[in-house]
Structure 1
Amino acid sequence: MINAYSANGSLKTLAPADALRQLSPDVVWIDLLEPTSREDSYVEGLLGVPIPTREDMKDIEPSSRLYIEGGSVFMTASLVAGADGPNPGLTDVAFILTGNRLVTVRYASPKSFRLFIDAFGRANETMDHATTLLARLLETIADRTAEILEQAADGIDKMSTDIFLNRGKRRPPQFLEGKLAEIAQFHRLVGKVRDSLNSLSRLLTFLSNTPSMCQSQTDDTLCRTVAHDIETLSEHATFVAGNIAFLLDASLGLINVEQNAIIKIFSIASVVFLPPTLVASIYGMNFQFMPELGWQLGYPLAILGMLLSAIIPFFFFRWKGWL
């Protein structure tokens, strides 16, 4: 799909079947969402610049993701997609500055793009420059990334409360094991956010040194502000990742404590019942000469001995605080 946006936010969807051979001068943004090879060729014909394919955007070499060719600036960043769902991931998005137009190529729909498109038409300022548009789009991406981190931090804080502050409440035996899966989900999400922030940091460093951005003091200042925000978010993401690591270690420790408590119960039970078993085993022997077998009170005394041999260790363990 090819969406063309003018400076006032109006949208026009283009298709290769259109007879259009030249874009209107007021078109400042062309957004390609899951483009086909035919749509790529169509846009290349309109703009005269190569459009990166999905395979091109997956290249991890900085020289293949950030470069200037023929006066056009090509940049690729990894953005978080599906952060509100059960399977968050990264999607590569290409940003191309060519002339006074911004071209984006993406094969997913991060929420930051939807938020920016919704606010594009309501913006007070007229974004008739591609650099201004890109700077505002990157600002929206940074804001959305901050929102993802805040949601993750809130979820981790709530989980910490469930694990530690509500220990006195009755919980199912598999409660902590279930929390491990949630911790792993948060770990995956924050890991994707950190990868995305690193990618955006490299892109903004490269962008701030390009001739296109240096021509506008306002856009350059905004770009550097967003870069500072990205740096701050990276530090916060590291802090959140540390909290997740602590929560994981603490949960595993609590699981070990609960398992040890169960093993301790069985160990104490075996020690308590071992002396009575010994007494019963002795008097269960079939020897001919056992004086106690002839006693009239032999059986009650044997029962009493077994009870005392069980009760004494039990109270000894209670006195020691092992129960």
Structure 2
Amino acid sequence: MINAYGSNGSPSVLTAVQPVGSLSEDIVWIDLFEPTREEDSYVEQLLDISVPTRDELKDIEPSSRLYTEKNGLFMTGSVVWKADSEEPELTDVAFILAGGRLLTVRYAEPRSFRLFTAALGRTAQAHHTGASLLAHLIETIVDRTAEILEGAVTRVDRLSIDIFRDREKRRPPKFLEGKLADIAGCHRLVGKVRDSLGSLSRVLSFLMNAPAIAAESELHSLCGTVARDVATLSEHAAFVAGNIAFLLDASLGLINVEQNAIIKIFSIASVVFLPPTLVASVYGMNFRMMPELDWTFGYPWALLAMLVSALVPFYFFRWKGWL
């Protein structure tokens, strides 16, 4: 799909069957969403550039993600999407400045793009340019990434409360084992956020040196502010990742403590019942000469002996603080 936006933010849809010369001069942003090969070729003719393919967007080499070609500025950044699902992902988006226009190529629909297009017609700036749209689009992406990170922090705080709550309010150890999956989900989300912020930081550094941005002090200042926000968010994401690692270690440690407590109960129970078993074994022998067999109160005596032999180690363990 080819979405186009004018300098005033008005949207329109282009089709690959329209004549190349029919593109209005007022169009400053062309958004390629899951483009077909025909749509790629059509836009290439419109802007006289080479549109990167899906495979080319996945290249991780900096020279393949940030470069200048045919007076066009090519940048590829990673954006978090599906952040509200159980499996957040990164999608690579190409940002291209060519001929005073902005071209974006994407194969997913992050919420930041929907937020930006929804607010595009309501911005105070009356006349947009490709460079200004790119700067504000990246700002929206960073703001959305900050929201995602804030949601991850809330999840981590909730996990911390659940893991370290009072023992009687917890259902160990299965309760803690169930929290391991939540910790893994937070770790995955924060990891995606960190990767995205690192990618956006490189894009901003490259963009600030572009003539279209450096020539306008307001846009250059905006990019610098967004770059500082990215740096701050990266530091905060690293701090959150450290907290997640602590929660993982703490959960595993508490699971071991709870399992050891269960094993301790069985060990103490076996020790407590060992003396009564010994008494019962003695009087279960079939020797002919056993005086206690002829006692009138032999049976109550044996029961009492087993009871006392069980209580003595029990209270001894209580006195030692092992129970």
Counterpart-to-counterpart distance in 2, 1:147 and 1:61 = 28
Deviation of 1:243 (Å)? 0.9
RMSD, matched Cα? 1.3
Matches for 1:264-303 after TM superposition, within 5 Å: 264-303=264-303
Contact 2:201 2:231 in 1 (8 A): yes
Matches for 1:1-323 after TM superposition, within 5 Å: 1-169=1-169, 171=171, 174-323=174-323
Deviation of 1:289 (Å)? 2.3
Counterpart-to-counterpart distance in 2, 1:3 and 1:180 = 43
Contact 2:78 2:92 in 1 (8 A): yes
Structure 2 alignment gaps of length 5 or more: none
Deviation of 1:183 (Å)? 0.8
The two structures have a TM-score, normalised by structure 1, of 0.97
Cα distance, 1:79–1:111 mapped onto 2, change above 3 Å: same
SS of the residue 1:286 aligns to: coil
Deviation of 1:170 (Å)? 5.3
Contact 1:127 1:133 in 2 (8 A): no
Deviation of 1:21 (Å)? 2.4
Counterpart-to-counterpart distance in 1, 2:59 and 2:244 = 30
Cα distance, 1:153–1:256 mapped onto 2, change above 3 Å: same
Counterpart-to-counterpart distance in 2, 1:75 and 1:64 = 9
Deviation of 1:227 (Å)? 0.6
SS of the residue 1:45 aligns to: helix
Contact 2:20 2:42 in 1 (8 A): no
Counterpart-to-counterpart distance in 2, 1:162 and 1:116 = 37
Deviation of 1:34 (Å)? 0.4
Contact 1:22 1:46 in 2 (8 A): no
1:213 counterpart letter in structure 2: I
SS of the residue 2:169 aligns to: coil
Structure 1 alignment gaps of length 5 or more: none
Deviation of 1:287 (Å)? 1.9
SS of the residue 1:103 aligns to: strand
The two structures have a TM-score, normalised by structure 2, of 0.97
- Between the aligned residues of both structures, percent identity stands at 67
Contact 2:47 2:99 in 1 (8 A): no
Contact 1:214 1:220 in 2 (8 A): yes
Equivalenced residue count is: 323
Counterpart-to-counterpart distance in 2, 1:166 and 1:122 = 50
1:91 counterpart letter in structure 2: T
Counterpart-to-counterpart distance in 2, 1:239 and 1:148 = 15
